């Protein structure tokens, strides 16, 4: 997982990563433990956190379309295996950089279920927020 691999770079910037899951608290804890995630992982199974940030539900094509299939095949052959989905699988991914004042300084809304902001792009957004405070 790219975020996990770059954790020292996030730490050097004083950044805290929080992963918000739609799964139950028990499933979220098991997921984090299974992957050895060194980040805070919280359950928001009711979807309120995702709605508050404007993360939307995807269409059938955005969830099961060709781009998602190709990304899944690529991940599979890279050694990643998809377990049983938990929570509302229709919710698309979102990545947000929030500064210390609580302002969203960068937002990435997934165009499909396989579209995640790259860790290096997240680090670049943090660097921009540090260089251009408030």
Structurally, how many domains does the chain consist of? 1
DSSP-assigned states of every residue in 80-125: -------S-TTBPPEEEEE-TTS-EEEEEE-SSTT----HHHHHHH
pLDDT the model gives residue 133: 66
pTM of this structure: 0.78
Give the mean pLDDT of the chain: 87
20-69 pLDDT per residue, tens? 888 889 988 988 898 888 888 888 999 999 999 899 999 999 999 999 99
CATH of the domain at 16: 3.40.30.10
Residue ranges making up the domain that contains 43: 2-131
Distance (Å, rounded) from C-alpha 7 to C-alpha 121? 14
Owner of token pair 């990304």: 71
DSSP-derived letter for residue 59 is P
- Band of residue 100 on the pLDDT scale cut at 50, 70, 90: confident
User: Per-residue pLDDT averaged across 98-109, rounded?
Assistant: 85
């Amino acid at each position: 997982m790219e975020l996990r691999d770059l954790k020292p770079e996030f730490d050097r910037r004083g950044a805290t990563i929080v992963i918000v899951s739609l799964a139950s608290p028990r499933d979220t804890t098991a997921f984090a433990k299974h992957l050895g995630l060194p980040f805070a992982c919280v359950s928001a199974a009711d979807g309120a956190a995702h709605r508050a940030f404007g993360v939307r539900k995807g269409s059938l094509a955005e969830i099961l379309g060709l781009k998602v299939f190709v990304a899944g095949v690529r991940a599979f052959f890279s050694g990643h295996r998809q377990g049983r989905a938990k929570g509302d699988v229709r919710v698309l991914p979102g990545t947000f950089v929030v500064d210390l004042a609580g302002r969203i300084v960068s937002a990435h809304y997934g165009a499909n279920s396989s579209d995640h902001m790259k860790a290096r792009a997240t680090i670049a957004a943090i660097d921009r927020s540090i260089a251009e405070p408030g």
